[in-house]
Structure 1
Amino acid sequence: MKAIILAAGIGSRLSRPFPKSLSVLPYGETILGRQIRIMRELGVKEIFIVVGFKMTLIMEQFPDVFYKYNPDYYITNTSKSLLQAVEQLDDDILWLNGDVVFEKPVLKNFLAVKEHNLVCVDRKSCGEEEVKYSLNKDGFITEISKEVIEAEGEAVGINLIRKADLPAYTEALRRCEDQDYFEKGLEFIIQDGAKVKPVDISDHACIEVDFEEDWISAQKKFLKPDQ
């Protein structure tokens, strides 16, 4: 398994002069540093970070990972950043947004699921800005986007594609428009018959930091590294 962290964006909604993945939690660890540490503690060793905005700040802090550069980070969205990383890979791929703060059991439980493509979800009420999902009668995801009407909850930005479906997903990312999120690629392969299973982590804290109120919540919740 290989892991990809998407950290290329400007993070305009949070208005930081640096990549928001470098925001420092109260106990002194950055969001990105926490993600890398937890993945390595759980046995995920080969990590790629997709960079763009002020990339040297990230690269200087984390010299012992691999990097992919999205040269169009300022005009493209996560579908194209992820495409930069997966095009030459051939393995199961874990990927996550670089602004997700989560308790270690979130990823541990997620990686313990050994079948199907996976999306980490939180079964809660969602607003317009959250990526939402719906399910079929067999419990597999049918829709995943911000526009889902009868949503089951939020897709929190942690995902896994199996090696067998990676070529189809890579092609789906190519089909995406520049401003599409990577979830659009998941919808494409679902329409073509791929199975994508939700993994419910509602019992644990997981916050995607998009807005200042998200960051305030993360600072209140994540006060130590072993949460």
Structure 2
Amino acid sequence: MTLQTVILAAGMGSRLGRSLPKSLTRLNDGRSIMGQQHDNLHAAFGREVRITTVVGYRAETIVEAFPHADYVYNDRYDQTNTSKSLLRALSASGRGGVLWMNGDVVFDPRILGRAVPLIEADRSFVAVNTSKVSDEEVKYTVAPDGAIKELSKTVVGGIGEAIGINYISSGEKRALIRQLHRVDDQDYFERGLELAISEDGIKLTPLDISDLYAVEVDFAEDLERANLFV
């Protein structure tokens, strides 16, 4: 079965101060952030990988830049957060698990290589960085069995940060979809995952990528840091 992947790129990205969608921001190597993501996906999973992008703000500019991708439109992009964009993408997906990422993450292509065994085993995961724990980032804790217990920006005693690359298994996707329907419009998708953990018992493996780079580009200084790697 062809792997289904999703890029969440509906938001306006106003904090970076650009007129184009943040995912089209140019890196020093000439690629856009989304271009780097496409290259990484193709390198890890081949040209046949199915890439679906959730678009909203200035959607036409992304479609024009990547005409061969599939698209889901979030017409409430200015009123909702990533929870509702992911809901639309998962609802439109076919059978099987789904790998998804935020559209503003510049990351080491080796991260996807490290994820391949979990994807092949159809095991849900959240890629995490344990080398730092910033107050403004999505943090996590683990249960005694090693699976993720809590996942949000308000977690107390977090042992690392989620980097915005995740996979939901074919068997646990329905539970996540149901919880994403429930969460508030302004919630991040991690709220849906957290509810699915506590109420549906899904198991999320923390995939440690601390030795590899992954930069979520929100501000100009994040872009400068990302450009140090590419």
TM band (smaller chain): over 0.9
One-letter identity of the residue aligned with 1:91: G
Once the two structures are aligned, what percentage of the paired residues are identical? 44
Equivalent residues in 2 for 1:25-104 (5 A)? 25-43=27-45, 45-89=49-93, 90-104=95-109
Equivalent residues in 2 for 1:144-223 (5 A)? 144-191=151-198, 192-222=200-230
Q: Distance in 1 between matches of 2:65 and 2:193?
A: 32
Cα distance per residue 1:171-205 (max 9 Å; x no partner) = 11101100000000100110021111100001111
173-182 vs 34-43, greater mean Cα deviation: 34-43
SS in structure 1 of the partner of residue 191 of structure 2: helix
Q: 2:122·2:170 contact (CA, 8 Å) conserved in 1?
A: no
**Hey, what does 1:4 align to over in structure 2?**
6
Q: 1:123 aligns with which of 121, 126, 130?
A: 130
One-letter identity of the residue aligned with 1:41: A
Q: Distance in 2 between matches of 1:170 and 1:221?
A: 35
Q: 2:100·2:166 contact (CA, 8 Å) conserved in 1?
A: yes
1:127, distance to aligned residue in structure 2 (A): 2.1
99-108 vs 112-121, greater mean Cα deviation: 112-121
Which structure 1 segments of 5+ residues have no match?
Answer: 223-227
Q: 2:151·2:191 contact (CA, 8 Å) conserved in 1?
A: yes
SS in structure 1 of the partner of residue 63 of structure 2: helix
Cα distance per residue 1:112-168 (max 9 Å; x no partner) = 223521000000222222111101121110000000110111100000000111111
Q: 2:23·2:32 contact (CA, 8 Å) conserved in 1?
A: yes
1:211, distance to aligned residue in structure 2 (A): 1.6
1:15, distance to aligned residue in structure 2 (A): 1.5
One-letter identity of the residue aligned with 1:135: V
Q: Distance in 2 between matches of 1:55 and 1:155?
A: 26
Q: Distance in 2 between matches of 1:115 and 1:20?
A: 31
SS in structure 2 of the partner of residue 130 of structure 1: coil
4+ runs deviating over 3 angstroms: none
Q: Distance in 2 between matches of 1:217 and 1:129?
A: 17
Q: 2:111·2:212 contact (CA, 8 Å) conserved in 1?
A: yes
Q: Distance in 2 between matches of 1:82 and 1:71?
A: 13
Q: Distance in 2 between matches of 1:168 and 1:53?
A: 28
Say if 1:211 and 1:126 are closer, same or farther in 2 by CA, change over 3 A: farther
Pairwise CA RMSD of aligned residues?
1.1
1:88, distance to aligned residue in structure 2 (A): 3.0
Cα distance per residue 1:80-105 (max 9 Å; x no partner) = 00111111322110000000011110
